[in-house]
């Protein structure tokens, strides 16, 4: 999973959730996003709505190109149960799509 331009606090929250779920989490900034996504081929790309507003269509296209689910959090303050549900759902969808 790829986490884009997130604070250290959100990164740590995602790492705790993913420790239970299993996949690795890599964080990057918007400058390195395209290259990192092409190299990693993540199951999901996670970002906040604030980050998404910089290039909404570009992020959708990138996620399609690398076969990742795009997870857009309303904010970094999303509650842990909601964050976990969004990540788990994205992983399930991406894994099923790649299994086809």
Q: Residue ranges per domain, the chain? A: 2-99
Note the pLDDT tens digit of each residue in 39-58: 999 999 999 999 999 999 99
Note the pLDDT tens digit of each residue in 18-42: 875 567 899 999 999 999 999 999 9
The CATH number assigned to the domain with range 2-99 reads: 3.40.50
Q: How far apart are CA 79 and CA 19, in angstroms?
A: 17
Specify the DSSP element, H or E, that contains 79. none
CA-CA distances (angstroms) from residue 8 to 41, 47, 68, 72, 92? 23, 13, 23, 17, 26
pTM: 0.92
Nearest to 38 by CA among 50, 26, 47: 26
């Amino acid at each position: 999973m790829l986490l884009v331009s997130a604070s250290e606090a959100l990164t740590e929250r995602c790492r705790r959730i993913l420790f239970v779920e299993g996949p690795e989490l890599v964080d990057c900034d918007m400058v390195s996003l395209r290259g990192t996504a092409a190299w990693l081929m993540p199951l999901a790309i996670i970002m906040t709505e604030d980050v998404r507003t910089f290039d909404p269509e570009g992020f959708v296209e990138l996620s399609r190109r690398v076969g990742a689910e795009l997870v857009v959090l309303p904010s970094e303050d999303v509650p842990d149960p909601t964050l976990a549900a969004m990540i788990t759902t994205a992983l399930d969808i991406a894994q099923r799509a790649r299994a086809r």
